[in-house]
């Protein structure tokens, strides 16, 4: 630990500010406008509220569909119906992400939205670690600035590879017409909340969605697909799922820091943040419950 970070650590200890990032502590010590010990204590209180009133949402703590899926006991028909609904969500998410970009409340947040949108479409994040051709399609860290476009790096193409391996064709997946009621409800709620013009609502939705995505459901899906492959001795490209699992780990690291930054830079309506976050998680729950109902009704 450097002398500077030891001084900040001691300061955080004395002022009961453990958990606050070093750059915020630095700003408090240097009397940056908007930054104070009181505000930091308020943020810690807000973060505790988020943990207890938002992050314990049942869809984060208990997802019956992914729990079942992780056992790998699905039939091919059940797997196909899952892939179709997931492809609709994945493709329509592009619409929500574009709307979010348009509705950004500043250049910085517009650029953050574009990072996600354009990466979804196939621009690979550029970073210092890329050394080979193979790496150029799979980077999960860095920026789209100066990145290279590859059709094959579009997330939809990864999912299409998986879809074709289980007998689906291009026109069987990804369109609104393929979505069932609960999938479409979720996609429409993403447009309404995640891409909302009110920055608190869109920020709360992003925060909730990122925490949902980082809570382990990608790993459960990967486990299920891996077991399914072994059971039927079948090769299924898992790239779409393994890549997202890697990307989420990166995103999750940043979300709390971003929230902390905007808490100090602007005023956040805490109640609106908590209620909007819960609203989008309710919609996430509708999506997964819809998948759970579907797998019980499709042929085994
Ligand atoms: Fe994606």
Indicate the range of 125-134, 170-179, 241-250, 266-275 predicted with least confidence.
Answer: 125-134
Query: How many CB atoms lie under 10 A from the CB of residue 62?
Result: 11
Cα(9) to ligand 1 centroid in Å equals 37
Cα(29) to ligand 1 centroid in Å equals 40
Cα(50) to ligand 1 centroid in Å equals 26
Cα(118) to ligand 1 centroid in Å equals 10
Cα(93) to ligand 1 centroid in Å equals 8
Cα(39) to ligand 1 centroid in Å equals 35
pLDDT at position 128? 66
Q: Which of 98, 239, 269, 71 is nearest to 163 (CA)?
A: 239
Cα(296) to ligand 1 centroid in Å equals 27
pLDDT at position 133? 45
Cα(105) to ligand 1 centroid in Å equals 23
Cα(90) to ligand 1 centroid in Å equals 7
Cα(250) to ligand 1 centroid in Å equals 13
Is residue 149 within 8 A of residue 126, CB to CB? The reply is no
pLDDT at position 253? 65
Cα(275) to ligand 1 centroid in Å equals 26
* Arithmetic mean of pLDDT, 282-288: 98
pLDDT at position 137? 62
Tens digits of residue pLDDT in 162-218? 999 999 999 999 999 999 999 999 999 999 999 999 999 999 999 999 889 888 899
pLDDT at position 215? 84
pLDDT at position 130? 53
pLDDT at position 129? 62
The contacts of residue 205 (CB under 8 Å, 6+ apart) are: 190, 193, 194, 196, 276, 277, 279, 280
Tens digits of residue pLDDT in 112-131? 889 889 999 999 888 766 54
Q: Which position has the token pair 């070093």? A: 22
- Per the DSSP assignment, residues forming a β-bridge with 123 are 149
Question: Three-state DSSP class for 105?
Answer: coil
pLDDT at position 241? 94
Is residue 40 within 8 A of residue 28, CB to CB? The reply is yes
User: Running DSSP on this structure, what letter comes out for residue 28?
Assistant: H
Cα(244) to ligand 1 centroid in Å equals 6
The percent of residues above 70 in pLDDT, for the chain, comes to: 93
Cα(149) to ligand 1 centroid in Å equals 15
User: Running DSSP on this structure, what letter comes out for residue 141?
Assistant: S
Cα(45) to ligand 1 centroid in Å equals 33
Instruction: Report the predicted TM-score, pTM, of the whole model to 2 decimal places.
Output: 0.89
* Arithmetic mean of pLDDT, 19-36: 89
Cα(153) to ligand 1 centroid in Å equals 10
pLDDT at position 205? 95
CA–CA separation, 59 vs 229, rounded Å?
Answer: 27
pLDDT at position 286? 98
Answer whether residue 91 shows pLDDT above 70. Answer: yes
Answer whether residue 95 shows pLDDT above 60. Answer: yes
Cα(248) to ligand 1 centroid in Å equals 10
Cα(249) to ligand 1 centroid in Å equals 13
pLDDT at position 282? 98
Cα(155) to ligand 1 centroid in Å equals 5
Cα(141) to ligand 1 centroid in Å equals 13
pLDDT at position 134? 45
Cα(85) to ligand 1 centroid in Å equals 14
């Amino acid at each position: 630990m450097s002398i500077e970070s030891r001084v900040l650590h001691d300061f955080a200890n004395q002022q009961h500010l453990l958990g606050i990032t070093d750059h915020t502590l630095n700003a408090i010590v240097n009397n940056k406008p908007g930054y104070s010990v009181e505000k930091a204590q308020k943020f810690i209180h807000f973060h505790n509220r988020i943990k207890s009133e938002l992050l314990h949402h049942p869809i984060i703590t208990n997802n019956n569909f992914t729990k079942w899926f992780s056992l790998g006991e699905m039939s091919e028909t059940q797997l196909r119906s899952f892939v179709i609904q997931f492809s609709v969500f994945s493709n329509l998410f592009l619409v929500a992400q574009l709307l979010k970009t348009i509705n950004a409340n500043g250049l910085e947040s517009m650029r953050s939205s574009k990072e996600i949108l354009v990466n979804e479409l196939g621009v690979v994040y550029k970073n210092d670690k890329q050394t080979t051709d193979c790496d150029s399609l799979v980077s999960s860290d860095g920026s789209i600035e100066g990145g290279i476009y590859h059709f094959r790096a579009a997330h939809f193409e990864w999912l299409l590879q998986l879809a074709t391996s289980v007998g689906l064709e291009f026109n069987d997946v990804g369109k609104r017409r393929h979505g069932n009621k609960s999938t479409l409800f979720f996609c429409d709620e993403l447009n309404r909340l995640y891409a909302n013009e009110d920055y608190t609502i869109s920020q709360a939705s992003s925060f909730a969605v990122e925490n949902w995505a980082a809570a382990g459901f990608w790993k459960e899906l990967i486990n299920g697909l891996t077991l399914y492959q072994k059971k039927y001795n079948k090769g299924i490209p898992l790239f779409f799922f393994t890549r997202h699992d890697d990307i989420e780990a990166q995103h999750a690291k940043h979300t709390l820091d971003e929230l902390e930054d905007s808490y100090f830079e602007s005023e956040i309506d805490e109640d609106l943040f908590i209620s909007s976050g819960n609203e989008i998680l309710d919609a996430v729950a509708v999506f997964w419950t819809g998948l759970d109902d579907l797998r019980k009704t499709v042929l085994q």
